[in-house]
Amino acid sequence: MNSYSQAFAWLAAPGHWAGPSGIPQRILEHLGYTGLTLLIAIAIALPVGLYIGHTGRGRDVIVPLTGAMRALPTLGIVILLALWIGGIGIQAPLIALVVLALPPVIAGAYAGLESVDRSVIDAARSIGFTGWQVLWQVEVPLALPLIVGGIRSACLQVIATWTVAAYLPVGGLGRFLYDALPNQDYAQMLAGSLIVIVLALLADGLFALVQRLATPRGVAAGRTPDVGTATRSPTRKDQTWLAPEEA
């Protein structure tokens, strides 16, 4: 029996789907950690990204800073914070993963607002929109696909990294890997990895759907047709109905 057969046999065992260490409980723990991390990251990063995109201020500082934050070794930060804070719990990995999730959310927000056509903003201002109205009624709706895209990227990173954070230990799907490693239970390790992969794919698909629904019709089409100037060459069938002098 190969490794994948053993992993699927482990997944099919009824005993692994019940109790505090069962698959459903570990999935709920993992989703809880991920949701809490994203909520905190969005609460911090989204206002920053919207401010930068709307005003253009702070871009020279925040953009290089978020780029540097992407390069930070997350597991190293988790261990460092665990030693600094002391004790075992989710505080250290939560802080580390919030730091990991900030850059894509900030980047999605300011890149989304910067992608809005300036002529649209000028038109809104010309009819009396205030800066606040321009932001929430013009810029944010048009930038929403990129904003959701930034959150989508952060979500995938957080789902994957909470698995590694189980090293401390905490709950979640990473427990299947770290609990099985001392016993060399590779079937359980592979099964846990497959669950994480499926969870990440489902989350990515859900965000892809939200991103698609958030895309305005004109943006989805690539451009808004100009009805007043749209023309096409007449076909032979069209020409048969033209007057001789027009044909």
How many other C-beta atoms can be found within 10 angstroms of the C-beta atom of residue 185?
A: 17
b/e code 108-124 from CB counts within 10 Å (16+ = b)? bbbbbbbebeeeebeeb
Separation between Cα atoms, residue 86 and residue 168, nearest integer Å: 11
Q: Are 166 and 174 spatial neighbours (Cβ–Cβ below 8 Å)?
A: yes
Domains in the chain, start-ordered, CATH in brackets?
Answer: 22-231 (1.10.3720.10)
Q: Which residues of the chain register pLDDT less than 50? A: 223-247
Output the CA torsion sign for 122, 125, 126, 127.
positive
pLDDT at 84: 81
pLDDT at 220: 56
pLDDT at 30: 95
pLDDT at 48: 93
Mind listing the pLDDT tens digit for each residue in 222-246? 544 443 434 444 444 444 433 444 4
